[in-house]
Structure 1
Amino acid sequence: MRVLTAAVLAAMSLSFPAFAADAKDDTATYTVWEWNVAGDAMNHNSATNGMVSAAAKSIRNRDADFVALNELCAGQFRALEDNLRNAGWPVDDTNFARFEGAYPAGHSVCGGEEEGIAIFSKRPLGPADRFTLPDDGKREKRKLLCAALQDSPHMRFCATHLTYVDEYRKSQADFVRDRLEDYHAKGDTAIVAGDFNMQPNWGRLDDFYSAGVNTPNNDRNTGHYHELDDNDPAHCAGYGEPTVSKADPSDAGPCGTGAKIDFIFVREDKIAGPYSAESLAPNTQCGGALCSDHRVLAGSVTVSVDN
């Protein structure tokens, strides 16, 4: 995993700002793990074909603190919860996971159960906030799911999955950003991870990304957030590594390496040290086939948290 110091970035003439924690804050370093698992589309609602066990193994191998999943069937959520519990991953095995349905039960998807998003946390979670994003007219209702740590209530982790319907992409991204800003106004530190169904250099995210990220690969930004893979000069600086397993040759991103549509965002004034992320190799442990059309995105960030 790449961790770049301010000195290295300065030497490479990249204009990423330095961050410092407020004196009244504590700092903490978190490893974040995000995956759109294509629970029904490619795994056909199976909890035994290899996807769940591959996810659990990767989560443990990366020693993740926070986990976000998209397109997860309810049965797969329960199976992953059991797997991580039996492996001793959570501190409190009765309080470490939250699920929010997006595609409703009663249809052919996920064997008639819900498909949705989920968060897992190594440390116990407090109550969850559940938001429905602006309606795109589809049966699946896009969601934002957030929960604070029980023993650190100003530290929040969120998962989301935005629409592919183009005319609603920006309104949903703005909705997520506004909820993060609401948390910020209350003194909270929030990390959000998920499939945004858009790319870093698209104008729809200009109000999300900080101007400190502006590079030839991702410019015009006016927001307050950094993505954990935006500071790697070796892999499309300002944009990041691709997260789509099956790259579309007609949409290879600004560096020709493939499309990135999965993200881990943190507000710039909460970053209190190095941050980094990487897109992991496509997982083929599902009967020799790809487990998902997305790659796992794994990152690390040191943040300040109001004490």
Structure 2
Amino acid sequence: MRSTRYLAAVCTAVVAVVATLILAVSTGEADADPIETRSEQTYNVWLQNIAGWKMHRASTTNGLVAAVTASIRNRDADFVAFNEMCRQQYNAIIGELRAAGWPQDSTNFARFGAVRSDVCDGQDFGNAIFSRDPLGNAERLPLPDDGSVADHTVLCAPLQVQPTVRFCTTHITTSNEVIDGVKANQRQLDAANVHMEDYHRAGETVIIAGDFNAQPNYGRMNGWYSANLDTPNNSDNTGYYRELDDDDEQHCLGYGEPTVGVGDPPGQCVPEKKIDMIFVRENRIVGDYWADALAISQNCGGPCSDHKILIGQVTVAV
């Protein structure tokens, strides 16, 4: 659910200087372009694993396309990420969003990253990103092999008009198979994190939304979550990133709201099955941020997915 972060007021110039030094240490190496010199931009992010083959068998006429495109428009999304999407559904959603006038450039607002080609009635199956603003060239950054036929990647593209801002998605494997002494899912999470840090060192601000197939309090996520995040429900973190639902005091502070299943009632903290996440590097966030998991639409002859839509908003230094 949407929540409010209460930031301590900085009362003196001395405290401000000390806080700045602490932030520089806690968020890694100093930026070549300090955050103070950057402009700010607020983005609305929309994410869903649509189970495009498992639940829909690549259908574009069973209500799924209409449901997701209506939600994207209703939530005023700037960035959209899909996981488990068939190419047929990708093309249909492009058509619907184009017809609705959602993109600023109707010829340049979507990118697809194939993961496998043995499902979806012979067409590609994978991940996709959509942007209200025109996109630059996409990169499909490889992740370590998980021993399956899937070709896991991180799919990213910068904004054409603001190339220091990049939007990404990924779908991490569920495999626990040990390869070279490390579990496949841990290897992929670590590699995806390295890709994000490479962009950061290049001076870019990245928003990544995807199905991480790990709950926030799992040890393999510690390298993602900021070391400054330490709650009973999410501790021992060593990373630099905040997940946009990690300040959710109404559900579970440090963890957020479940995105798979019916979820927990408001006011209770029952960490369970949150695997869809939106991350931004902590030292790129300006002010408050929030995320919310929406009820699963029933307009597909039944549920439209086994994952909730996750929406969020963040202001970043660009």
Q: Same fold (TM over 0.5)?
A: yes
Q: Report the alpha carbon displacement of residue 3 of structure 1 after superposing the two structures with TM.
A: 4.5
Q: Report the alpha carbon displacement of residue 143 of structure 1 after superposing the two structures with TM.
A: 1.5
**What's the RMSD between the two structures over aligned residues?**
2.1
Does residue 208 of the first structure (1) align with residue 224 of the second (2)?
Answer: yes
Superimposed CA distance per residue, residues 82-125 of structure 1 (whole angstroms, 9 cap, x where no aligned partner): 00000000000000000010012xx3x11111100000000000
Q: What is the alpha-carbon distance in structure 2 between the residues aligned to residue 174 and residue 24 of structure 1? A: 30
**Of residues 146, 149, 152 in structure 1, which corresponds to 2:162?**
152
Structure exhibiting the larger radius of gyration computed from Cα positions: 2
Q: Report the alpha carbon displacement of residue 245 of structure 1 after superposing the two structures with TM.
A: 2.7
Superimposed CA distance per residue, residues 170-200 of structure 1 (whole angstroms, 9 cap, x where no aligned partner): 1101111100000000100000000011100
Matching of residues 63-82 of structure 1 within 5 Å: 63-82=76-95
Find the residue that maps to 2:192 and give its secondary structure: helix
Q: What is the alpha-carbon distance in structure 2 between the residues aligned to residue 81 and residue 127 of structure 1? A: 18
Q: What is the alpha-carbon distance in structure 1 between the residues aligned to residue 66 and residue 232 of structure 2? A: 40
Aligned to 2:126: 116
Q: What is the alpha-carbon distance in structure 2 between the residues aligned to residue 143 and residue 246 of structure 1? A: 29
The residue type equivalent to 2:2 in the other structure is: R
The residue type equivalent to 2:52 in the other structure is: G
Q: Report the alpha carbon displacement of residue 257 of structure 1 after superposing the two structures with TM.
A: 5.6
Q: What is the alpha-carbon distance in structure 1 between the residues aligned to residue 141 and residue 65 of structure 2? A: 26
Aligned to 2:62: 49
Deviates more, 1:155-164 or 1:166-175: 166-175
TM-score scaled by length of structure 2: 0.87
Q: Report the alpha carbon displacement of residue 64 of structure 1 after superposing the two structures with TM.
A: 0.3
Aligned to 2:102: 89
- The runs of 5 or more residues in structure 1 that have no matched partner are 10-16, 249-253
Q: What is the alpha-carbon distance in structure 1 between the residues aligned to residue 193 and residue 76 of structure 2? A: 28
The residue type equivalent to 2:50 in the other structure is: V
Aligned to 1:238: 254
The verdict on how the C-alpha distance between 1:244 and 1:8 changes in structure 2, with shifts beyond 3 A counting, is farther
TM-score scaled by length of structure 1: 0.90
Matching of residues 216-295 of structure 1 within 5 Å: 216-245=232-261, 255-256=269-270, 258-287=272-301, 289-295=302-308
Q: How many residues align?
A: 289
Q: What is the alpha-carbon distance in structure 2 between the residues aligned to residue 117 and residue 101 of structure 1? A: 7
Find the residue that maps to 1:32 and give its secondary structure: strand
Q: Report the alpha carbon displacement of residue 7 of structure 1 after superposing the two structures with TM.
A: 4.5
Does residue 174 of the first structure (1) align with residue 169 of the second (2)?
Answer: no
> Conserved in 1, the CA contact under 8 Å of 2:3 and 2:249?
no
Q: What is the alpha-carbon distance in structure 2 between the residues aligned to residue 149 and residue 279 of structure 1? A: 26
> Conserved in 1, the CA contact under 8 Å of 2:257 and 2:263?
no
